Amino acid sequence: MGPLAGVRVVEFAGIGPAPFCGMLLADLGADVLLVERKVPNANTAGVSFFNLGRFAIHHRGKRAVALDLKKPEGVAAALRLVERADALIEGFRPGVMERMRLSPEACLARNPRLVYGRMTGWGQTGPLANAAGHDINYLALSGALSLGARPGAPPWAPPTLVGDMGGGGLLLAFGVLAAILEARQSGQGQVVDAAITEGAALLTSIVGSLKAAGIWSDRPGTNVLDSGAPFYDTYQCADGKWIALGAIEPQFFAELVKTSGLPANEFETQFDVAQWPRQKDFVTKLIATQTRDQWCALLEGTDACFAPVLGLEDAPMHAHNRARGSFVELDGVVQPGAAPRFSRTRSEVGLRPPASGTSSDATLASWGLSRDEIIALRDSGALA
């Protein structure tokens, strides 16, 4: 039903941002076929960091096929699937797909309209292109990691959020969709080189604007948005739980002071940096006098720019999230729902994550493989 209904995507199984990209496309209605590497007893492997089974939210809405890509029959089958695809996405180091004989050149020769999406940390070229790395490394090089520090504390990265998912998976999805639109105009496919370092750097654009204008300091904890301001930070309540304040605009700041009971005479100036430490001390002590629920009763829904800091278990239960259906349950796993929302072509969470290491004849048939081809694949041992 989603806006991408009819779009076909072949995803070569990996970890991190490329599967997240595939999930986003599947949520919006694309037919995403996950091509896994066929390994012995894959379907009996226990749950681990690298194999989450039915808990793999990032594989929801997808169908799967397990191919032995070391066999020529497996590669041939993968190319047959590519023939029917609008896009291919992969998240390996540069050169891995080439070694599997599934290079952009090989795939585009079979399907000239194919969009070939490549997800890496450093990019397909450059001095670091072939080096290993993870989210925290890519954030470090992009400049984004330096923004997550407080005075006297080391930089801290939200687990995989800014790099892998925001700077990586979202960037790849954006690039793939843009290239699909262009291919429908030109009739020609192309390679999309999505690098997490560059995606994370893009996410720093607003802070970069502030720095260029001379109103952002490189000293952690001295700026409006990095815990320096008393009106933009998190505070601990009497019960040990936390709330978040973000009253940047003067009218919202005035609402916060008035509604919370802060002494007005101590908060007559908002952007006098010299007053911030003293003002923050007032806020810290006031917030600590009541529980999080008490502050919610007082400030939630006002223009004080307030929210409770919720954990992954609490967030789905909040009244606002429940009213909008922001979280759903699939196969016993509570998870974020599909987003964004569309007024006509509704996006939604689809199929449960496919069982690892299995293949469906019906899935292959729907992607254009004949019964004889499927039988031959099984006989060769290239198909799980």
Q: Which two tokens stand for residue 344?
A: 């006509």
First to last CA, the chain: 30
Spot the catalytic one: 27, 68, 135, 164. Answer: 164
Band (pLDDT 50/70/90 cuts) for residue 368 is very high
* Catalytic residue check, 164: yes
Q: What is the 3-state secondary structure (H, E, C) of the chain?
A: CCCCCCCEEEEECCCCHHHHHHHHHHHCCCEEEEEEECCCCHHHCCCECCECHHHCHHHCCCEEEEECCCCHHHHHHHHHHHHCCCEEEECCCCCHHHHCCCCHHHHHHHCCCCEEEEEECCCCCCCCCCCCCCHHHHHHHHCCHHHHCCCCCCCCCCCCHHHHHHHHHHHHHHHHHHHHHHHHHHCCCEEEEEEHHHHHHHCCHHHHHHHHCCCCCCCCCCCCCCCCCCCEEEEECCCCCEEEEECCCHHHHHHHHHHHCCCHHHCCCCCCHHHHHHHHHHHHHHHCCCCHHHHHHHHCCCCCCEEECCCCCCHHHCHHHHHHCCEEEECCEEEECCCCCCCCCCCCCCCCCCCCCCCCHHHHHHCCCCHHHHHHHHHHCCEC
- Predicted confidence (pLDDT) per residue in 172-219, tens digit: 999 999 999 999 999 999 999 999 999 999 999 999 999 999 999 999
- Tell me the pLDDT tens digit for each residue of 227-248: 999 999 999 999 999 999 999 9
- Residue whose entry in the numeric block shows the structure tokens 């998912």: 165
Pairing mode, strands 232-236 and 242-246:
antiparallel
Instruction: Please state the φ and ψ torsions of residue 120, each to the nearest 5 degrees.
Output: -135, 170
Peptide bond into 230 cis (omega under 30): no
67 falls in which pLDDT band (50, 70, 90)? very high
**% of the chain with per-residue pLDDT over 90:** 86
Q: Which of 134, 303, 318, 361 is catalytic?
A: 134
pLDDT tens-digit series, residues 85-137 = 999 999 999 999 999 999 999 999 999 999 999 999 999 999 999 999 999 99
Q: Which domains does the chain have, with CATH numbers?
A: 8-203+327-380 (3.40.50.10540), 221-236+242-308 (3.30.1540.10)
Tell me what the mean pLDDT of segment 156-160 comes to. Answer: 90
If you average pLDDT over residues 58-69, what whole number do you get? Answer: 93
pLDDT of amino acid 41: 52
CA distance 109 to 111: 6
Distant-in-sequence, close-in-space partners of 362: CB < 8 Å, separation ≥ 6: none
Has this prediction a pTM greater than 0.85?
yes
* pLDDT, tens only, 4-25: 999 999 999 998 899 999 999 9
Q: Is 28 exposed, middle or buried (0-12, 13-18, 19+ CB in 10 A)?
A: buried
218 is catalytic: no
Output the six-digit token pair for 378.
């099984």
Among 176-185, 193-202, 270-279, 353-362, whose mean pLDDT is lowest? 353-362
pLDDT tens track for 327-341: 999 989 999 999 999
Work out the percent of the chain whose per-residue pLDDT is above 70: 97
Residue 327 is predicted with a pLDDT of 95
Reply yes or no on whether the pLDDT at 274 is more than 90. yes
What does the pLDDT read at residue 267? Answer: 96
Q: How far is 116 from 190, CA to CA, in rounded Å?
A: 6
For residue 141, count other CB atoms closer than 10 A to its CB: 19
Cα angle at 92 between 96 and 9, to 5 degrees? Answer: 105
Mean pLDDT of 36-42: 67
Asked if residue 382 lies in contact with residue 38, where contact means CB atoms within 8 angstroms, the answer is yes
State the chain's mean pLDDT as an integer. 93
Look at residue 149 in the predicted model and tell me its pLDDT: 85
Q: Is the pLDDT of residue 354 over 90?
A: no
